[in-house]
Homo-oligomer: A and B are copies of this chain.
Amino acid sequence: MTDNNNTSKRPLILVSNDDGITAPGIGFLVQVMKEIGDVIVVAPDSPQSGMGHAITVGNSLRLDKVNIFEGVEAYECSGTPADCIKLAKHYVLKELTPDLVVSGINHGANTSVSVLYSGTMSAAIEAAIEGLPAIGFSLCDYRQDADFSHVLPYVKKIAEEALNSGVPQGVALNVNFPINSNTPIKGVKVCRQANAHWQENFDQRMDPHGRKYFWLVGDFVNKDKGEDTDEWALSQNYASIVPCEFDLTAHHVLSKLNNWNLD
């Protein structure tokens, strides 16, 4: 990165996503972040939805400077969202430390268990692993031409509050917004991840050469009736914030496993 930002008093904000650097959602996110800080973008050169926390270890990576956001230094990377954060921190930014890392705005929800499959959140979680304050933003609207206008004030408010109050160490925030509708967003709820899952199936097809192939299809099923979940908040037209940690240890079962006979 050029060092003109180095002396700036404005916060330095790193932006990434998983829909790819040309997706409208990241354009909106850059636009909002420019209002509150100096922005640098490192994002995938192609869609990476569903990449989870994948990193590129068996192949090399490309990183190219692009000029697609006015007045913003931006790079496209051939790798995953997690790769983008690693390249941003260790190659692009070098000794500069971003004050905030934001990812998104994803075209589509990343609620409940979907956080594990989400490239948007893997960028934010990778940043948290690197000790950086991070937020992933998603809109519950998969369409390429999704309307983001109603969420922009909330994105700004949440990012500013993260800069002012600090995101707790070891945590990345998973923010989801309801689709634009006649009902305005009621506010923001801090939530836990709903205990929901995808009820999956495979659509079997035959290729022109007579060989079978499969498409993953599925319905999201939420049996969690709690009114403290991200799914509940969104169903009531609130934005949801779930703090996510990357230590997966299920502490509550350690004592049970210690009773196993393994000698």
Which residue of B60, B192, B213 contacts A215 across the interface (Cβ within 8 Å)?
B60
Interface string of A236-263 (1 = CB under 8 A from B): 0000011111111111011011111111
Is the CB–CB distance between A52 and B50 below 8 Å? no
A180 beta carbon closer than 8 Å to chain B: no
Is the CB–CB distance between B129 and A90 below 8 Å? no
Is the CB–CB distance between A62 and B190 below 8 Å? no
Is the CB–CB distance between A244 and B254 below 8 Å? no
**CA of A263 to CA of B251, assembled, Å:** 34
A149 beta carbon closer than 8 Å to chain B: no
Q: Within A188-203, which residues are at the interface with B (CB < 8 Å)?
A: 188, 190, 192-193, 195, 197, 200-202
Q: Within A49-77, which residues are at the interface with B (CB < 8 Å)?
A: 49-58, 60-63
**Chain B residues positioned under 8 Å from A63 (CB to CB):** 212, 214
Is the CB–CB distance between B87 and A262 below 8 Å? no
Is the CB–CB distance between B171 and A262 below 8 Å? no
Stretch at the interface among A3-11, A99-107, A115-123: A115-123
Is the CB–CB distance between B55 and A53 below 8 Å? no
Classify the interface of chain A: helix, strand, loop or mixed.
mixed
Which residue of B173, B213, B250 contacts A61 across the interface (Cβ within 8 Å)?
B213
Is the CB–CB distance between A245 and B241 below 8 Å? no
**Chain B residues positioned under 8 Å from A257 (CB to CB):** 168, 173, 190, 241, 243
Which residue of B87, B129, B130, B158 contacts A202 across the interface (Cβ within 8 Å)?
B87
**CA of A238 to CA of B212, assembled, Å:** 45
A91 beta carbon closer than 8 Å to chain B: yes
**Chain B residues positioned under 8 Å from A161 (CB to CB):** 260-262
Is the CB–CB distance between A83 and B216 below 8 Å? yes
**CA of A213 to CA of B61, assembled, Å:** 6
Closest to A126 in B: B116
**Chain B residues positioned under 8 Å from A245 (CB to CB):** 248-250
**Chain B residues positioned under 8 Å from A27 (CB to CB):** none
**Chain B residues positioned under 8 Å from A150 (CB to CB):** none
**Chain B residues positioned under 8 Å from A170 (CB to CB):** 250
Query: Known contacts A91-B214, A257-B190; is A50 also within 8 Å of B54 by CB?
Result: yes
Is the CB–CB distance between A52 and B129 below 8 Å? no
Is the CB–CB distance between B61 and A50 below 8 Å? no
Closest 7 CB pairs of A and B: A52-B53, A50-B57, A245-B250, A243-B250, A244-B248, A52-B52, A188-B262
